[in-house]
Amino acid sequence: MKKLIKNGTIVTSSDTYEADILIESGKVVQIGRNISEVDAEVVDATGKLILPGMIDEHTHIESPFGGTVTAPWKTESVAAAIGGTTTVVDFALQPKGKTLMDGVDRWKQRAEGSSAIDYGFHIGVTDLRDDVIEEIPTIVKEGIPTLKVFMAYKNDLMIDDATMYKTLAAAKDEGALVMVHCENGDLISLLQEKCIENNQTEPFYHAVSRPIEVETEATYRAISIAEIVGAPLFIVHVSGDEPAEVIRAAKAKGLPIYAETCPHYLLLTIDELKKPNFEGGKYVCSPPLREQRHIDALWNALKDGTIEAIGSDHCAFNFNGQKELGKDDFRKIPNGGNGIEHRLTLLHTHGVLEGKLSLNKMVDQLSTTPAKVMGLFPAKGTIAVGSDADIVLFDPSKQQTISQSTSHQGLDYDMFEGFETTGAPTDVFLRGKQIVKNGQFIGQLGDGQFVRRNAFGYCYDTIK
Ligand SMILES: [Zn+2]
C-alpha cells in the first residue's frame, strides 16, 4: 500500500521546506504541498523533521578480533534503526591466505536474514598477493567498491607502503576507493614495548603509546602515496588537530582526499582512560581519545569541510569477558567502542543545538556525503523523487539520557552513559516499510538487504 507522510518539514543536505511525501513500492514517488491520495496510509509528521535515513559508513558488526567477536547483527542493526540509521557499510576482512571474496562471503552470511537495516561491505585487504590484485575487478562488480588498508596493527593487519601503493593503483583502475587507518604501526609497537618494560600496563598507556604524531605521520604518508598514484583516498577516524591540518593542506592542493571522524573523538577526552578499576578499558579505541584541543580542532574541521563525514566506528565489545582480556596488559584490550545507536541524537544535541553545525550540514555529514562517497547516492542519502524511501521522522525537542540500561546495543556498558540529549528519531521507514514506531522497533530481522554500491562515484569527479 502507498504511504503518505503529511505535515512535516523535510530537511536535506541543502534544503529545509514543508512538503508531503508519497511513497510507493519502496520509493519516493512524489513530493509536494497538500498531496491528496485516497488510496494511501497517512502518516502524520506534524512537528517533526523528515530526514533521509542516516548512513553509517564505518561499523564492525559480529566481527572477530583477537580471539573474541563484536556484538551481533540481531542487536546492533536494531539499535541502528532506532537511532535513525537505515544503511551501514560494515568492514569485512580478508582472512589471511584466502581471497577477498572469502571475506565478503563470511560477512554476508552473518548479516543475511539477521539485519534490520540495509547493509554493504568494505573489504579489508590483509594479504595482497598477485591473485588478490586480480580479484579487485570482480569484487567491485559484486557491489563492493571500497577497500580498507591498515597502517597500524604490526604483525597482524598492517601493510607496508609498497602494498598500499599497489592497492591504490589497482583500485583506481576499477573506480574503487581505498580507505585507510592512519597510524604508524611500527612505532606504536616500539612505544608499547617501552610502556610494558616500565610496568605501565593500565588502559591509559594505550593512549601514551599512540601519540598524535604517529597518526599525523601516517596521514601524511598515506596522502603522499595516493598523490603519487593519482588516486582518491578516504581517511577513516581522524582523531585530532595535526592530522586534520595535513588533510586540510592536501585538499587545498586539490587532491581528492576525503576524511571521517567519529562521535567519540568529538565528545570524549583522554581523561576517560584514567578511570579507576580498569573502567578506562571501556574507552580503548584506536586512534585513542585525545585532549580537548583536538576536540575543538575536529569541530572546526567539520565546519570548514576538511572532514566531511561522521561515522560511528561502532565496534562493540563487552566490558565483562572481552575488554577484561587486557586487565594486566593494555595491548590485549580489544580496541573499539560504541556509537551506532546515538550518533544522530548526539550530533543534533552537541552539533546543531550548540551552533556548531546547521541541520542541513548534519544531514550532509551523517547521510548525504557518506552516501555519495560510498556509491549509494542518489538511491540513499537524500529525499528525492526516485530515491529509496529510507526516511526518519525526528522530534527535535525529545529529551533523553543515554544509558546502557535503555540502549538497544548488545553490550554491557555505553561510552556515552549519562549524556543528556535533545532530539530523537520517533519513526523510521526502510524502503517504505515502517520499522520503528514511536521509538519502538516494529520491523523484522531480515528486513535489511545487501546493497550493491557503484564504482567511479563522487570521489572520481575531479580525476575522471
Ligand atoms: Zn573501525
What is the distance in A from the centroid of ligand 1 to the CA of 59?
6
Long-range contact set of residues 164-167: C-beta below 8 Å, sequence gap at least 24: 164/222, 164/225, 165/225, 165/228, 165/229, 166/128, 166/133, 167/125, 167/128
What is the distance in A from the centroid of ligand 1 to the CA of 90?
9
- Structure-block grid coordinates of residue 246: 595535513
What is the distance in A from the centroid of ligand 1 to the CA of 21?
35
- pLDDT of the residue at 65: 83
- pLDDT of the residue at 315: 97
pLDDT digits (tens, 9 = 90+) for 421-433: 999 999 999 999 9
What is the distance in A from the centroid of ligand 1 to the CA of 381?
21
- pLDDT of the residue at 464: 57
What is the distance in A from the centroid of ligand 1 to the CA of 336?
8
Nearest of 427, 350, 450, 385 to residue 118 by alpha carbon: 450
What is the distance in A from the centroid of ligand 1 to the CA of 329?
22
What is the distance in A from the centroid of ligand 1 to the CA of 36?
45
**Alpha helix stretches (DSSP H) within 319-447:** 343-347, 359-363, 369-373
What is the distance in A from the centroid of ligand 1 to the CA of 19?
38
- pLDDT of the residue at 67: 83
What is the distance in A from the centroid of ligand 1 to the CA of 357?
24
What is the distance in A from the centroid of ligand 1 to the CA of 315?
7
Q: HSE-up of 223 (CA within 13 Å, CB side)?
A: 25
What is the distance in A from the centroid of ligand 1 to the CA of 420?
26
What is the distance in A from the centroid of ligand 1 to the CA of 262?
10
What is the distance in A from the centroid of ligand 1 to the CA of 283?
14
pLDDT digits (tens, 9 = 90+) for 329-376: 999 999 999 999 999 999 999 999 999 999 999 999 999 999 999 999
Domain architecture of the chain: domains with CATH: 2-51+388-441 (2.30.40.10), 53-376 (3.20.20.140)
| Parts of the chain with a pLDDT under 70 | 464
- pLDDT of the residue at 463: 73
The Cα angle at residue 49 between residues 47 and 53, in degrees rounded to 5? 145
What is the distance in A from the centroid of ligand 1 to the CA of 46?
38
pLDDT digits (tens, 9 = 90+) for 214-266: 999 999 999 999 999 999 999 999 999 999 999 999 999 999 999 999 999 99
- pLDDT of the residue at 214: 98
What is the distance in A from the centroid of ligand 1 to the CA of 30?
37
d(CA 70, CA 334): 9
What is the distance in A from the centroid of ligand 1 to the CA of 142?
22
DSSP readout, 234-273?
Answer: EE----SHHHHHHHHHHHHTT--EEEEE-HHHHH-BGGGG
What is the distance in A from the centroid of ligand 1 to the CA of 60?
6
What is the distance in A from the centroid of ligand 1 to the CA of 201?
24
What is the distance in A from the centroid of ligand 1 to the CA of 154?
16
| Amino acid found at 349 | T
- pLDDT of the residue at 439: 98
For residue 148, list its beta bridge partners. Answer: 124, 179
